[in-house]
Every structure is written in C-alpha cells, then in structure tokens.
Amino acid sequence: MSLLLLQPTLLSCMSLILCLTTGIILLTFSRTVSLSRALLASSFITMAISFLVGLLLMLDWPPVNTRWQKLPHLIWLLSIPLPFCYVRSFTVPKLSWKDLIHLLPFAIFLVDYLPFFSAPIDALSLTPAMGWERVHDIIPHERGLFLPASFHIPMITVIMTLYWILQVHRLVIYSEQQPRPSKDRLWWLSLYTILQSLVFLPSLIAMIINRPNDWVLVVPPTAVSILSCFILFLCPGILYDFALKTTVKEDPPRHKPLFDDESAETLSNRLTQLMSDKKPYLNGNYSLQELAAELDMQPHRLSSFINNVTGKNFNEYLNHQRIAFCLELIAKEETDHLNINGLAALCGFNNRNTFSTAFKKVTGQNPSEFLRNRSDGPRLTS
C-alpha cells in the first residue's frame, strides 16, 4: 500500500471508530434521548457509514463493486442537514412533516444516479484499486440522468454551504432567545458550527479557483470528525448528558401578602361603605393620609391594598369615585344649571382639564360629547 493511500486510510479508520463510538454514546448514555442528542448521534453515525464505504473503496475490498462509488455521495446528502437540524432543535424542539424537504437533495441525486446503478458492471469503466485520488475515474457513466458529469460534487459543496449559513442563523437565534443560555452548550454549539465550516470551505475554495482536488473531499471531513469527537470527549456534560451549568434567571422572592382573604374582604367593605356614606372624594384636596387615618391603618398598606384590589393608584381610584358620582348626578338631571367647570368642582375636581381627562378615561367621551349623545340629557354650557 502506497504512502499516499495509507494516510487517508488511517484517517478514515480513526474517523470511523470515533464517530461510531460517539454516536453510540450519545444514544445510550443518557437518561432520555432528546431530539437534539438523536440528531447529533445520527450525524456522527452517518459520517461513520460514509467513512466505512470510502474505506472499503480505498482498500478495493472484493465484495465492494463499482456501483459503490456513488454511495458516499448519497450518504453525505443524508448527513448534510443533520448539523443544522441539531442546532435548530434547541429553539424548535420538534420535527414536522415539513422537514421532509431536507431529503429533497438526496432524492434528486438518487434519481439522477439511476443510470449508474442500473448499468452492467462490465460497462462501467473502473480503474480498480487506484485509491482515493481516483474516485472520478468512472468516466463513461459519470453523467447522471439529467445532471452533467461535473455538476455533482460542486452541487454538494453548495448545499453544504447553504445549510451552514442556516446553521449560523439558528445559532444566533438560540443565543438571542435564551436570556442566559448555558455557557457550556453555547460554547460547544459555536465551536461545532465553526468546525462544520471547515468541512466544505476547502472544496468551495477549490471550486471557485477552478483547481479541483480530491483530497479536499476526504481529508477535511475526516479531520473535522476526529476533532469534533475529541472535543466531545472533553465535554462530558454534553456527551453523557450531565447537568449543564445553566444560569437560570431566578424569580424575585415572593413577599408575604399584606392581607389574607378575610382581612382583605373586611377592608374592602369598610372602604366601600366609607365612600358611599361620607363621599370624602368630593374634597378636592383629599389625601391618602386622610383616608388611611379614617380607616385606622398605615398609608403604605392602604396604597398597596388599593393597587392590588382595584388595579389603580390612589388618585385614579379617587377620580373613578368622583366620575361615578358625576354620572349619578347627570342621570338624575341635577346638573342643568351647571357648566363644565361647575360640574367639575361639584364632583371634587380642582380644574376642568383633570375632570375631562378622568371623565373620558371612564366613559370614553369628554363630558360635552357624553351629554350631547344622550338623547334626553341636559345640555351643559361651555
């Protein structure tokens, strides 16, 4: 075996063993196999199968015939979407039937390769045992059913590039959607995405400068796979699904409620009775401290109670009581002799603007509009 053949063969053997071992660990050494672990494991296992087929082709193993030359392409097309789906699974935790679209490149290539797979063995011009650098020597049947002979490898490179861009996009979404993501996981996903770029970049550069070289199809994926496996072995929290150190945003401590249900109901009844009997809100300068004194409680406790029960602050609550009183007067037609300023003063407001704002907030109309829209209501002068 030549030295040129020995080097990629050893790399493929190492990659095969590491990828298969990593995939098995991801699937078995976990309490539950999540979608993300299943996708990552599938990625490593498909890579292992690809390396196995490529290794058998390099070694010219007798049961491996010429038709196997195209099989690594198809396995690659199955594995290309998996890293993207793996990163996406941290923001989209479920697969749907729409994800079948990721099998479209595989289906297209499979159909396109039908003439190659159906041709007689002796019709395929193969140079046996010429090694990995002669993968494309089956010239007569290199052309597919509808794609040209030189189209397949560049197209696979373009597909890998597009999926990597989508993977980067998903990684950005993950980092933005998680207010405090796990540092270990984010570090791994970022490094994994960077390593994935090294799989296709050499091939993409060779395609752009029009300097095709078969080593860029074998060595970079092999080296990236080995490096990814070693990194995972150094990150047992991810590989073995240990608890990751996730910084969780803690909820603020819950304070003990100021009032239990019984005392809250009692205070609510006392407040309602006071407003009904004494109508203290008609005093334009009535304050929270005065109301608290009448109810014999601390002002801050009363303010908290009003906020929690009515959803309003003290001034809003007082103005709401004043507008309710105003509407009652209007309904009784006791405001015919008053203008807007007089009505505002009668209901406890110190100025017309505050009265109009509060009135519109409750009724949706300012006082003049409200009265004009009442078919039998009085007319107020401006």
Cβ atoms of 346 and 337 within 8 Å: the answer is: no
| Residue 94 confidence (pLDDT) | 85
**199 with 278, same domain?**
no
Domain count, the chain: 2
Cβ atoms of 282 and 348 within 8 Å: the answer is: yes
In a domain, 170, yes or no: yes
**219 with 304, same domain?**
no
Q: What is the pTM of this model?
A: 0.57
In a domain, 204, yes or no: yes
| Residue 21 confidence (pLDDT) | 92
Report the range of poorest mean pLDDT among 220-229, 250-259, 273-282.
Answer: 250-259
In the predicted model, what is the mean pLDDT of residues 331-337?
A: 77
* The token pair that represents 23 in the structure block: 């995939």
pLDDT digits (tens, 9 = 90+) for 46-75: 989 988 888 887 776 655 556 677 788 889
* The token pair that represents 201 in the structure block: 């970049």
Cβ atoms of 351 and 344 within 8 Å: the answer is: yes
**37 with 151, same domain?**
yes
In a domain, 378, yes or no: no
**170 with 101, same domain?**
yes
In a domain, 173, yes or no: yes
Pairs from 274-280 (Cβ < 8 Å, separation ≥ 24): 275/321, 279/321, 279/325
* Spatial distance between the Cα atoms of 84 and 61, rounded to a whole number of angstroms: 34
Domain coverage including residue 109: 3-239
Of 178, 209, 239, which closes a domain? 239
In terms of Cβ atoms closer than 10 Å to its own Cβ (0-12, 13-18, 19+), residue 87 is buried
| Residue 100 confidence (pLDDT) | 93
Pairs from 304-310 (Cβ < 8 Å, separation ≥ 24): 304/258, 305/258, 305/259, 305/264, 305/267, 306/271, 309/264, 309/268
Alpha helical stretches, state H, 61-182:
71-79, 81-88, 104-112, 114-118, 152-177
In a domain, 248, yes or no: no
In the predicted model, what is the mean pLDDT of residues 153-164?
A: 91
In the predicted model, what is the mean pLDDT of residues 186-195?
A: 90
Domain of 10, CATH number, reads 1.20.1070.10
**300 with 230, same domain?**
no
**18 with 155, same domain?**
yes
Domain of 337, CATH number, reads 1.10.10.60
**214 with 71, same domain?**
yes
Whether 81 has a pLDDT exceeding 80, the answer reads yes
**34 with 161, same domain?**
yes
pLDDT digits (tens, 9 = 90+) for 270-308: 888 889 888 998 988 888 899 988 888 888 888 888 888
3-state helix, strand, coil in the chain (%, to 5): 65, 0, 35
* Spatial distance between the Cα atoms of 212 and 51, rounded to a whole number of angstroms: 21
Of 239, 272, 297, which closes a domain? 239
Per DSSP, the three-state class of 301 is helix
* Spatial distance between the Cα atoms of 4 and 10, rounded to a whole number of angstroms: 11
| Residue 42 confidence (pLDDT) | 92
Phi-psi region of 319 (alpha: psi -120 to 50; beta: other; left: phi over 0): alpha
* Spatial distance between the Cα atoms of 11 and 238, rounded to a whole number of angstroms: 25
> What value, to the nearest 5°, has the Cα angle with vertex 235 and ends 232 and 238?
80
* Spatial distance between the Cα atoms of 372 and 116, rounded to a whole number of angstroms: 87
In a domain, 253, yes or no: no
As a whole-number percent, the residues of the chain with pLDDT over 70 amount to 78
Of 180, 205, 239, which closes a domain? 239
**200 with 271, same domain?**
no
**152 with 25, same domain?**
yes
In a domain, 381, yes or no: no
| Residue 258 confidence (pLDDT) | 57
In a domain, 250, yes or no: no
**143 with 225, same domain?**
yes
Give whole-number Cα distances, 362 to 115, 145, 149, 260, 319, in Å. Answer: 78, 74, 76, 30, 9
Q: How many other CB atoms are found less than 10 A from the CB of residue 54?
A: 26
Report the sign of the C-alpha dihedral through residues 254, 260, 261, 264, in that order: negative
CA dihedral of 280, 284, 289, 291, whole degrees rounded to 10? 10
**219 with 311, same domain?**
no
Whether 17 has a pLDDT exceeding 60, the answer reads yes
| Residue 63 confidence (pLDDT) | 58
Cβ atoms of 212 and 206 within 8 Å: the answer is: yes
Q: What is the mean pLDDT of the chain?
A: 79
